């Protein structure tokens, strides 16, 4: 499929020291034509040998980015209490499958495990199921959970496997910064109409470059109805995988009880505009520059996730801001208690929780959104006031 460069496109020049994944993708493009952005992103993050997540633990100060559970223990603790509240209200079902999608280092689960210890019977009811494709991070999760004295979890490659392991029973599905790592498709409204954006190899520049499909693609049906009339030059991102995974999780909890909790950065309404970005060493990088060596993400379209959940029979709560959600769950009181218990760490404790709820540019409180899905008729904690 031909993909001449779009005028607004930039090329990711790789230089002479091509990484193995660059070589693999360059050859793939030479054989079969330019990749969709989703194919490129999936390979860059998840290639079984050279993918970004396959080869490393990218979290924390020494890595490329950090996340809420790594910033403050209060995050996982409050989510633990959120789960405990749902479990008590559901009549203490056992077993309760706790499924985490993309658990990183397992830090959220370790903090959650400590917090739920205050609720008699809950730890005994919980079966842990982790959906994780990265061998490096599975090892980190095992070590973290062992230190937390949590029971060994079951790992799965796919959400469907984790949910079917949950059988007909109730489940809580947690996803913090998972959906932003799923591959997106990009469509641009060219003078000839909507076309899918592709990743080609630019021989002259010696790097990857964006281009456009010459003809409409079948996937165009994914462009939300409300955005199809966007002006020429508009770019729309869609993530069919995020929608189908949300639908699977929502269908399960609608039928068998409890909830899905998705926390991520993104927009409340579907909107045009490019959000594809790469991070390396906590600094912005070119998404096409060095596949497999930088984190690549895109903002989550919460409206699309909500539509998928509703179509699957779930009731959607939010999205609301992370600041609103954590605030209602008692972030201030927990921070104060921790600071009083360890005055030597009080400043660090307060700085960590401030980062979770402050607005940009220093904090994640407004950019990050929280969406929950439950069976009809249940309002989970943190959402009651809208």
Ligand X SMILES: C[S@@+](CC[C@H](N)C(=O)[O-])C[C@H]1O[C@@H](n2cnc3c(N)ncnc32)[C@H](O)[C@@H]1O
Interface mask toward ligand X for 37-76; x: CB under 6 A = --------xx------x-----x-------x-xx------
Q: Find the shortest distance in angstroms from Cβ 49 to ligand X.
A: 15
Point out which residues pair with 371 in neighbouring strands.
262
Residue 177 · residue 102 · CB < 8 Å: yes
CA 128 – CA 172 distance, rounded (Å): 10
Member of 137, 199, 285, 356 binding ligand X (CB under 6 A): 137
Q: Of 174-182, 200-208, 325-333, 360-368, which segment contacts ligand X by CB under 6 A? A: 174-182
Point out which residues pair with 198 in neighbouring strands.
36, 211
Member of 177, 248, 290, 315 binding ligand X (CB under 6 A): 177
Which residue, 60 or 93, is less far from ligand X as judged by CB? 60
Say whether residue 134 binds ligand X (CB under 6 A).
yes
Point out which residues pair with 172 in neighbouring strands.
98, 259
Say whether residue 176 binds ligand X (CB under 6 A).
yes
Q: Residue 339: which residues within 8 A CB-CB, separation 6 or more?
A: 345, 346, 349, 350
Distance of CA 8 to the CA centre of its chain: 28
Largest Cα span, the chain: 66
Say whether residue 253 binds ligand X (CB under 6 A).
no
Say whether residue 153 binds ligand X (CB under 6 A).
no
Q: Tell me how long the chain is.
A: 386
How many Cβ atoms from other residues are within 10 Å of residue 15's Cβ?
10
Which residue, 59 or 320, is less far from ligand X as judged by CB? 59
Say whether residue 133 binds ligand X (CB under 6 A).
yes
Say whether residue 187 binds ligand X (CB under 6 A).
no
Say whether residue 80 binds ligand X (CB under 6 A).
no
Q: Closest residue (Cβ) to ligand X?
A: 102
DSSP 43-67: HHHH-TTT-HHHH---BSTTSSB--
| Chain residues that interact with ligand X, rule: CB under 6 A | 45-46, 53, 59, 67, 69-70, 102-104, 108, 131-134, 137, 176-178, 181-182
């Amino acid at each position: 499929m031909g993909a001449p460069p779009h005028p607004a496109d930039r090329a990711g020049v790789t230089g002479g020291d091509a990484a193995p994944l660059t070589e693999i993708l360059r050859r793939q493009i030479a054989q079969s034509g330019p990749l969709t952005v989703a194919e490129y992103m999936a390979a860059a993050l998840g290639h079984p040998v050279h993918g970004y997540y396959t080869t490393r633990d990218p979290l924390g100060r020494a890595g490329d980015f950090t996340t809420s559970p790594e910033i403050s223990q209060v995050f996982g603790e409050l989510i633990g209490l959120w789960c405990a509240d749902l479990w008590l209200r559901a009549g203490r079902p056992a077993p309760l499958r706790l499924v985490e999608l993309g658990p990183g280092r397992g830090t959220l689960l370790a903090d959650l495990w400590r917090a739920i210890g205050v609720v008699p019977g809950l730890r005994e009811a919980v079966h842990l199921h982790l959906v994780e494709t990265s061998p490096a991070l599975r090892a980190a999760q095992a070590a973290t959970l062992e230190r937390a004295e949590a029971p060994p979890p079951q790992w799965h490659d796919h959400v469907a496997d984790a949910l079917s392991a949950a059988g007909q029973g109730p489940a809580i599905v947690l996803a913090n910064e998972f959906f932003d790592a799923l591959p997106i498709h990009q469509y641009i409204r060219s003078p000839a109409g909507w076309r899918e954006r592709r990743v080609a190899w630019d021989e002259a520049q010696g790097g990857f470059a964006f281009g456009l499909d010459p003809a409409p693609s079948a996937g165009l049906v994914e462009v939300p109805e409300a955005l199809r009339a966007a002006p020429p030059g508009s770019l729309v991102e869609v993530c069919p995988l995020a929608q189908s995974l949300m639908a699977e999780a929502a269908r399960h909890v609608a039928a068998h009880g409890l909830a899905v909790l998705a926390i991520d950065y993104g927009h409340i309404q579907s909107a045009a505009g490019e959000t594809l970005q790469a991070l390396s060493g906590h600094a912005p990088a070119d998404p096409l520059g060095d596949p497999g060596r930088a984190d690549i993400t895109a903002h989550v379209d919460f409206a699309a996730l909500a539509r998928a959940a509703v179509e699957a029979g779930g009731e959607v709560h939010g999205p609301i801001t992370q600041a609103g959600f954590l605030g209602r769950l008692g972030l201030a009181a927990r921070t104060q208690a921790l600071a009083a218990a360890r005055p030597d760490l009080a400043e660090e404790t307060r700085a960590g929780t401030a980062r979770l709820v402050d607005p940009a540019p220093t904090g994640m409180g407004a950019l990050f959104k929280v969406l929950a899905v439950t069976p009809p008729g249940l309002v989970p904690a943190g959402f009651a006031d809208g």
